[in-house]
Amino acid sequence: MVLNTGNAGRRGIEREILAIVNERWPTSALEIARHFREDTSSRGKRKKHSTKYAYYLKKLVAKRLVLSKRFGHALVVWPVQAEAYRTIHRILKEAGDA
């Protein structure tokens, strides 16, 4: 019997991907594919899995849970909290220079 998880299954994978991004950032779609032990042995398979996980990463970006930047063809993401760390670092650096 095949169970249709529908949106709950998709939200589950989004939660898993978000956990990976929070744990190991910055990261890319291909790195997430490797984390899930997807076969990335050929160019075609890398492209397929990169596209698959980039879809979920873009959804997380749209929900403002992660930030992203493109480097060539790679979509690199990091948690929103990382920007807070950067801001704190900048403030501390400016306070130390003053």
CATH number for position 25? 1.10.10
Asked whether residue 18 carries a pLDDT value surpassing 90, the answer given is yes
What average pLDDT does the segment 8-13 reach?
73
In a domain, 81, yes or no: yes
Residues 6+ apart with CB under 8 A from 19: none
Tens of pLDDT along 85-97? 888 888 888 887 7
- Give the domain extent around 34: 8-97
The whole-chain average pLDDT of the chain stands at 86
In a domain, 78, yes or no: yes
Q: Six-digit token pair at 98?
A: 């003053």
In a domain, 3, yes or no: no
In a domain, 66, yes or no: yes
Asked whether residue 84 carries a pLDDT value surpassing 90, the answer given is no
Phi, psi (degrees; rounded to nearest 5) at 81: -60, -25
Asked whether residue 3 carries a pLDDT value surpassing 80, the answer given is no
Structural domain tally of the chain? 1
Q: Are the CB atoms for 46 and 32 separated by under 8 Å?
A: no
In a domain, 2, yes or no: no
For every residue of 23-38, DSSP letters joined together read HS-SEEHHHHHHHTT-
